[in-house]
Structure 1
Amino acid sequence: MVLFGTLVNGALIIAGCLIGLFFTKIPERYKETVMHGIGLAVILIGMQMAFTTEVIVVVLLSLLTGAIIGEFIHVEEGLNRLGAWIGGRFTTTNDNFSIAQGFITASLIFVIGAMSVIGALDGGLRGDHEVLITKGVIDGFVALVLTTTLGFGVIFSVIPVLLYQGSIALLATQIEKLLPESFLNGLIVELTAVGGLLIVAIGLNLLKIVQIRVGNLLPSLLTVGFVYYIYLLF
């Protein structure tokens, strides 16, 4: 089953969120310190991913072009509205911003990264779901911790996870026919590096060191493909 790994990943995220809901009533000072710990760990994860780049100019140009596109089409604003709309369907309080923050933060952490891409490709091309199942276990624990601090919105991150990884897995049988293996391998490296920097930005936001509009940088995950292709031409 092509989507088995993706479905397991989604199920483990939901399980982690549901368990995390039982720990949301802990004192604020505990939540604050836990959030700082999460922020530091997220920055470390992002830096490890970012350092995998082999062509730093590709990462730089991808972020620049992605930022311009993101600001022009107001991606962050749209994501916040989506999170607020979802929050409005499931809560009668004024916690819509928290719902949106949980949704956006968790979605970026769970979707961005080599494991998402490689795991989905393995599932689609070879029927091997080990990477995605391993990712699901990690995501489940992260979802549990995030839910205790960011709240119920984290659970909605399962939607982009299923759509993103599921789409890659379903298209994987055709992707080898469209892209040479050498290009695909190089693209995954640079995609991971760009995604890693976005993860670092999330960590900085969680630590409240700076407020980066990470949503408006998301188009860089698409532009990296075009930038990398142009780089190879020269």
Structure 2
Amino acid sequence: MPTGVIINALSVVLGGIFGGFFGEKLSDNFKKEITLIFGVCSMGMGISTIVLMKNMPAVVFAIILGTAIGLLLHVGEMVKTGATYMQKPINQLFGKQTELDAKEFQAQLVTIIVLFCASGTGIYGSLDSGMTGDHTILIAKSILDFFTAAIFACNLGYVVSIIALPQFVIFFLLFIFAKAIFPLTSPVMIADFKAVGGFLMLATGFRMVNIKQFPTADMIPAMVLAMPFSYLWTTVILPML
């Protein structure tokens, strides 16, 4: 039973509804300042997983090559297009809920799509949940996701709740295939994988506090390359050095 996956998806749904409903009652200054705090939390969580890194060259190479692949395949543009389609049915049901211009709306929505769906914590938590039945990681992530969804929904509206759909699909598939994937991994590979996810969360934090708009969506393919590169570095390259 994917209990952790369900709880995590529900936290995004409920957070989005809560923020969409109460958003107008909160001052713009409150929403701006609390978003900065969540950005700092994201950066802190990213740093806490980056320090777990075992093979720096493999992690760095995975991030650079993965981002290059994402840019060439226009992953970021595809996510932005998907974000626009997500907004349309919400606008038809509830009317336009945000005063943000289209560019800023897309930027914020892409930021939280990556944060909810492509974090190392969420992906590893889904694998761990499927393999061991321990849902602790995903439940802990759900707490942060609820409040993050609520705050962003104050600016973006109920559309934030829809992000729970792709999040659930991704995490559920990982949960299902965990028994096939997890035995092929090692503690070193998992640590490097979580480190790559940490870099994504760090970049997401920079976006949330408007320091730099890193191409976080285009960085997603790096998550796929993380474990294979870690394995190759450990078993093939290191013995040659």
Same fold, TM-score > 0.5, yes or no:
yes
Match in the other structure for 1:59? 59
For 1:190-223, what per-residue CA distance to the aligned partner results, in whole angstroms no more than 9, with x for missing partners? 1111111111111111222222111111111112
Q: Distance in 2 between matches of 1:199 and 1:115?
A: 9
Q: Distance in 1 between matches of 2:101 and 2:23?
A: 14
User: Scaled by the length of structure 2, what TM-score is found?
Assistant: 0.84
Q: Secondary structure at the match of 1:221?
A: helix
Answer whether contact 2:120 2:196 (CA < 8 A) is retained. Answer: no
Q: Larger deviation: 68-77 or 110-119?
A: 110-119
- For residues 70-219 of structure 1, what are the structure 2 equivalents within 5 Å? 70-91=70-91, 93=96, 97=103, 100-176=106-182, 179=184, 183-219=185-221
Answer whether contact 2:119 2:200 (CA < 8 A) is retained. Answer: no
Matched AA of 2:203: A
Identity across matched positions, percent: 23
For 1:10-34, what per-residue CA distance to the aligned partner results, in whole angstroms no more than 9, with x for missing partners? 1122112211123311232222222
What is the deviation of 1:6? 0.8
Answer whether contact 2:111 2:207 (CA < 8 A) is retained. Answer: no
Q: Larger deviation: 143-152 or 29-38?
A: 143-152
For 1:67-98, what per-residue CA distance to the aligned partner results, in whole angstroms no more than 9, with x for missing partners? 21011111111111110111122215486555
Show structure 1 runs of 5+ residues with no match: none
After superposition, the CA RMSD in angstroms is 2.2
Change (3 A) 1:83 1:206: same
**1:12 lines up with 2:49 in the alignment:** no
Answer whether contact 2:55 2:233 (CA < 8 A) is retained. Answer: no
Q: Distance in 1 between matches of 2:40 and 2:182?
A: 37
